[in-house]
Structure 1
Amino acid sequence: MRPFWLEQALQADPSEQCPPLQGEVRTDVCIVGGGYTGLWTAIMLKEQNPELNVLLIEADICGAGASGRNGGCALSWSAKYFTLERLFGVEEAVRLVRESERSIHAIGEFCEQYGVDADYRLDGTLYTATNRAQVGATDAVIAALERNGINSFSQRPLADVQRMAGSAKHLEGWFSPAAASVQPGKLVRGLRRVALQLGVKIHEGTAMTGLEEGRPARIHTPGGKVIADRVVLAMNAWMARAFPQFERSVAIVSSDMLITEPRPDLLQQIGLTSGVSVLDSRIFVHYYHNTPDGRIMLGKGGNTFAYGGRMLPVFDQPSPYAGLLKRSLADFFPAFAEVKIDATWNGPSDRSVTGLPFFGQMSGAGNVFYGFGYSGSGVGPCHMGGQILAALVQGLDNPWTRSPLVNGPLGYFPPEPIRYLGSLMVRNAIRRKERAEDHGRRPRHLDVRLAKFAAAAGKADKG
């Protein structure tokens, strides 16, 4: 059984699976991974250089990973401004915030240009507080954005916030129009269709079993081999297992989601009638939005951590945190407390030390490129990732290839078992801290200190 979004997308577009690779083929560019990053890269390469031979292999079907099961919140990097400034300086931080907002609009323009029905709605986002401790948490970053002329947020009166968000649980809110919501499965399957239309050769059911670096590079698969002048590794969370040098560059952590049955009558009743993405100010945030057919999707990040970057069986199963998600749904929306839940699911996200993705080239021959580490916020930024990787593949000299984002990992987690045990310790401290704050109590000093390890990289897992 596929996750809800992907299952729904496959029912709407039951096109046949692309055949697995058989035998030996030669190509200009081989892309490994059929999610947002790989497909955006393939599409941009063909749009910019139609004569280029581009071949993409995917171990399962396109969209089977995070791209077909995320929360569908296409958000900018505005909330990450302090991290961007600390790592890259003011000028690049400002550029990246602007580019991240531009990508939100570009996804909508792409859907319109190619007739992709991805339920794209440019209805903005609300960053809110849901307890007294969260009130004012967004003030500093908003002030910094304003200072640098890139602020798209405005604070809304409380009555407007609660009306827009459909819930009286919110105590304050900042609204930005520079955000969208999408049906993730429909978007990734639409990207697949357009890639094929542009001449990209796709082989699904084709895992990479080995990579021989060199000029040309050789990508081995169960049924054959790809000989390629250039290679793009767009495997996201799977990179940590495939290449030992990246094992400590990300931590694999789940984001868990539920979706209700369609109840447009109740959405009208509570006032949640637009596609606005709503996020609270926790470290591992709650996030939600409605769907055009009258459902509520609600998710929460930071739940299951994987030891050693392994792909756990639970990532392909209904969420083990379904009870927690249902309680959160009832807490936000009492009117939905007894509404049927049509599905729960989860999936692995590749959480980097900084909370930002990173890109680079890993071959002595200089022709193998990679990008991953979206940290649970990839719907919008994967469009930027496609621009970066397409520019690197073509050897361009532009702001993307000069960006410090292309310098590889910007930090490493400790080795196992320290990373795993430390992750659980920080996660549990965050849970205790936020439980205390929800009940109006002062959290323990140790929990506050431990929570800062996660807070330093910004909110996690909302895309």
Structure 2
Amino acid sequence: MNARKAVAGALHEPYWLGDPARPEPEPALHGTDACDLAVVGGGYSGLWTALRAKERDPSLDVAVLEGGRIGGAASGRNGGFCAASLTHGIRNGADRWPDELHELERLGWENFRAIAETLVRYGIDAEWEAAGELHVATAEWQLEGLAEDAELAFEHGWEPMLMSAEAVRAEVDSPTYLGGLWDPDGVALVNPAKLAWGLADACRSLGVRIYERSPVTGLDEDVPLRLSTRNGRLAARRVALGTGAFPPLLKRMRRYVVPVYDYAMATEPLSAARLESLGWKHRQGIGDRANLFHYYRLTADDRIVWGGSDAVYHFGGRIGDGLERRGAAFEALARDFLTTFPQLEGLRFNHTWGGVVDTCTRFCAFYGTAYDGRLAHASGHTGLGVGATRFGADVMLDLLGLPEADPARARLAMVRDRPVPFPPEPFRYGAIELTRRAMARADRRAGHRGRWLRALDRFGVGFGS
């Protein structure tokens, strides 16, 4: 079966969001309302912020404004990899903040454990699987990086397993695998939509008001701050922005964040025989080590969710439903899938979808305030926000002066620093497209980073999903 046939007839809908158990939407904001804390965005960042605010100060009156549906954007479209890393991987953290990496890893582990404890405390069935992640080398040049990452992880308290080609293929059988690094402790797999819906239920249980289909169209810097929607206004003493890739209410933030489209697919459920042909007994999440990488995992009903390999930026930062439909991307993903798992020839994909990711030049979130400290924001999670958004929520609440602030967080250079801004258009589009092509070329040329990528490395900037 060729790639086109494998995706023919697939439903263009995120697998996770097509669940018939998806909650009915909450009413939109109509008229006027007021609160102590307004949270803009009903994805992970906003929901964690609302939940943590009520846990830190139960007396707070908290309201959430979501432009579409809870978890309907990136939070319901990702691969469901919940990582302990706050820095988009230990290597990125070591390159940027070597002096505080041990502290960042400690805080990341505490945050990761707190997420698991939250699911238990509120009875959230997010299909949590503490299976870890298997990083695989599919080209010889990637093996050295796996070894370096293993050594760095050991230095900071982790216990990954560096694996030969034979060992990794005994875990998951693919002729493309030349080696692997299994992190059994720092990643869990979740159903991303169920996580968002469960967090929303937990928020409501503590008295948080959630308004869906209420996109914020304006922000007035009165005292209190006033947020305008299509049909109402919300006055708030403090505001937390968790809008991800969507245009931020603070214009100055647009220099630092760009929306990047990522694409994914889900197969039909695998039969017992097909599962047996793969091995995959430990059900790890998997990611290869290419610059334009793939990520994939098994679902609770034994489908394979398969995504990545590209990061598409549209001129001017355009976002729209039509940009999620990119047939060439799905066919390319299907070809790569069949190369990775030729024993699954004939398997069909039931779902294809796209989603927009907020990325910044340092690959992990940055934070800040506006309006004399009455507004805080966290942006730029770059595809690893399933876990890190909880940490970012606490940072925003610290910046807003809520109780139980952790002094260790406030001292972090990662919290205080900002990423290098993207250039304005048309240079922005040109630089991003040049970077994307250079990354693809490096993958084809045994990892050799050409002049452009080496220049970006010197300045500590990059681009990805």
TM-score when scaled to structure 2?
A: 0.90
Partner of 1:158: 165
2:49–2:397: 8 Å Cα contact kept in structure 1? yes
Q: Secondary structure at the match of 1:284?
A: coil
The more displaced of 98-107 and 260-269 is 98-107
Match of 1:434 among 443, 452, 459: 443
1:21–1:223: 8 Å Cα contact kept in structure 2? yes
Distance 1:99 1:284, change over 3 A: farther
Distance 1:176 1:370, change over 3 A: same
Q: Confirm whether residue 212 of structure 1 aligns to residue 214 of structure 2.
A: no
Match of 1:65 among 51, 54, 73: 73
Q: Confirm whether residue 231 of structure 1 aligns to residue 233 of structure 2.
A: no
Q: Distance in 2 between matches of 1:311 and 1:346?
A: 11
Q: Distance in 2 between matches of 1:390 and 1:110?
A: 18
Q: Distance in 2 between matches of 1:162 and 1:223?
A: 56
Aligned letter for 1:430? Answer: M
TM-superposed CA distance for 1:407, in Å, is 2.9
TM-superposed CA distance for 1:120, in Å, is 1.0
Q: Distance in 1 between matches of 2:88 and 2:203?
A: 32
CA offset digits 1:172-226 (Å, max 9, x no partner): 1111122111111111111111111111100001011100124311111111111
Q: Secondary structure at the match of 2:408?
A: coil
Give unmatched runs, 5+ long, in structure 1.
438-442
Identity over aligned pairs, percent: 29
TM-superposed CA distance for 1:453, in Å, is 5.9
Q: Distance in 2 between matches of 1:135 and 1:301?
A: 19
Paired residues, number: 448
Partner of 1:368: 375
2:420–2:461: 8 Å Cα contact kept in structure 1? no
Partner of 1:256: 263
TM-superposed CA distance for 1:335, in Å, is 1.9
Aligned letter for 1:207? Answer: P
CA offset digits 1:116-164 (Å, max 9, x no partner): 12111000111121011211112223323333x3333221343331132
Distance 1:397 1:435, change over 3 A: closer
Q: Distance in 2 between matches of 1:54 and 1:452?
A: 46
Q: How does 1:50-449 map to 2 (within 5 A)?
A: 50-77=58-85, 80-90=89-99, 92-147=100-155, 149-177=156-184, 178-240=186-248, 242-265=249-272, 266-317=274-325, 320-363=328-371, 365-395=372-402, 396=405, 398-407=407-416, 409-437=418-446, 448-449=450-451
Q: Confirm whether residue 20 of structure 1 aligns to residue 22 of structure 2.
A: no
Distance 1:136 1:459, change over 3 A: farther
TM-superposed CA distance for 1:315, in Å, is 4.1
TM-superposed CA distance for 1:69, in Å, is 0.2
Q: Secondary structure at the match of 2:385?
A: coil
TM-superposed CA distance for 1:79, in Å, is 6.3
Q: Distance in 2 between matches of 1:384 and 1:96?
A: 11
1:123–1:276: 8 Å Cα contact kept in structure 2? yes
Q: Secondary structure at the match of 2:292?
A: coil
Q: Secondary structure at the match of 1:128?
A: strand
TM-superposed CA distance for 1:409, in Å, is 2.8
Provide the aligned C-alpha RMSD in A. Answer: 2.3
Give unmatched runs, 5+ long, in structure 2.
1-10
Q: Distance in 2 between matches of 1:397 and 1:435?
A: 45
Q: Secondary structure at the match of 1:354?
A: coil
Aligned letter for 1:411? Answer: V
TM-superposed CA distance for 1:404, in Å, is 2.8
Match of 1:450 among 429, 449, 452: 452
Q: Distance in 1 between matches of 2:172 and 2:118?
A: 28
TM-superposed CA distance for 1:171, in Å, is 0.7
1:427–1:451: 8 Å Cα contact kept in structure 2? no
